[in-house]
Amino acid sequence: MTHHFNRYHFQGQHEGEQVLNIIHRHWFNILTHYLVVFGCAFLVFGSIGSFPILFPEAVTPANQAFFLFAQNTFLIFLWLYGFLVWVDYYFDVWIITSERIVNIEQRGLFIRHISELRFSRVQDVTSSVSGLLPTILNFGDVYVQTAAEEERFVFRQVGDPFAIKSEVMRLSRVASQENMRDLANALEKE
Amino acid sequence: MRLIFGLLYTLFFLGCLTTALFVVFHLLRYSLDRKVAVFGTVFFLSVFVILLFTNALIFFTLPLESLFPTFNTL
């Protein structure tokens, strides 16, 4: 079975391990951060046109150069902030492979947590969508109860949590059946 | 006075460059898809370089003496 995620590769991927799904937080989550960025950008560009009209006496050649410098500096800050928000969003990812779930949490620039959960350790999966906007836009949380050291694996604010829950349950069932088959083969050999 | 502003601007410039380098490092190192990594880096750097370059140009043409006349007496 071919998957269009085959072109994706992550650090620590095993040989033969297939990437089945790459999940990021829902776009609404990053939109709330970018509203601030867009709002500030609108103010900056708006001030370029409106300042000479509102404060004509303040518009001298020296002041114009200074305001241009201030606006340009503010744009640099906005651009850097926008990409820092993007890095925090885009590199927060859950990777579902043929063998496990890998959770990569990027917190800012210098903190990165990676945890994984093999499907054979999955005990129960719950999805949760609560609130008006999450219901309309279909995003929420998926909780994976595990038999591992980390008892609960959480997919936070992800799109279509019901589908993710179904996928994890299916892969967990397949892993259980494979384990049973391996156990039966091992017992037969004895 | 120009020296002080020049030093402050140098600090600001280096800070922006350092932050940009960290962003590029993350884009190239941790992206799962190579095409996204390259596109993101090119997009980010192209706008950033233009902004920083114009910022430096504007700074060096700023008439600091007329903007901050009180500093001239120091």
Picking from A66, A76, A87, the nearest residue to B26 by CB comes out as: A87
| pLDDT tens-place values along chain B, 74 residues long | 778 888 999 999 999 999 999 999 999 988 888 888 999 999 999 999 999 999 999 998 888 777 676 655 54
Q: A44-65, pLDDT tens digit by residue?
A: 888 877 877 777 776 777 778 8
Confidence of residue A148 (pLDDT cuts 50, 70, 90): low
pLDDT mean over A13-40? 90
Residue B26 neighbours by CB distance under 10 Å: 24
Higher pLDDT, A189 or A144: A144
Contacts B33 to A, Cβ<8 Å: 7-8
Task: Please give the ipTM for the structure prediction.
Answer: 0.88
In a 10 Å sphere around its CB, with 0-12 CB exposed, 13-18 middle and 19+ buried, how is residue A140 labelled? buried
Q: What is the pTM for the complete model shown?
A: 0.81
How would CATH label the architecture of A96-189? Roll (2.30)
What pLDDT score does A4 carry? 66
Q: Do A97 and A17 contact (CB within 8 A), yes or no?
A: yes
Check CB contact under 8 Å for A72 and B58.
Answer: yes
User: Could you state, in order of their start, the residue ranges of all structural domains in chain A?
Assistant: 31-88, 96-189
Cβ–Cβ contact A69 with B under 8 A: yes
Q: Which helix (H) or strand (E) holds A96?
A: strand A93-97
What pLDDT score does A1 carry? 40
